[in-house]
Amino acid sequence: MTDQDNLKYTAEHEWVSIDGDIATVGITAYAADKLGDVVYIDLPAVGAELSGGTVVGEIESTKSVGELFAPIDGTVTEVNDAVVDAPDLVNSEPFGAGWLLRVRFTNLPELLSAAQYRELVGE
């Protein structure tokens, strides 16, 4: 389990963990709860160039289909194949085994702190 207070967040309900020039990205527990039971995840390919704020994937649940936005500019270095094979990991461990992708970023935009994100979602 990741220390959620040390993560950065987006208004699109994604979390970002920074380690050097690599960002690990996932969706928040709030987003996973709102989506319901996740049944399918479409992620960008390793090597894909991401542009912050653009749609890069899709998360489908029994209730709806949500878009995955790139929180940062960069190149995908790894995707979580375990989540593609078992999408319910996003529901059971959104801040752990349910991470989605890793990106070598070229610049880090202003992201929300944990306190700002909690305020955004009313927690």
Q: What's the whole-number average pLDDT of the chain?
A: 93
pLDDT of residue 29: 93
Given the structure tokens 């929300």, which residue do they identify? Answer: 112
How many CB atoms are located within 10 Å of the residue 76 CB?
Answer: 20
Q: How confident is the model at residue 123 (pLDDT cuts 50, 70, 90)?
A: confident
CA–CA separation, 118 and 24 (whole Å): 20
Going along the chain from its start, the domains and CATH numbers come out as 4-108 (2.40.50.100)
Q: Which among 23, 26, 96 is positioned nearest to 59, based on CA atoms?
A: 26
Segment 27-77, tens digit of pLDDT: 999 999 999 999 999 999 999 999 999 999 999 999 899 999 999 999 999
CA–CA separation, 82 and 28 (whole Å): 17
pLDDT of residue 1: 40
Q: CA of 55: how far to CAs of 7, 44, 58, 123, in Å?
A: 21, 10, 8, 26
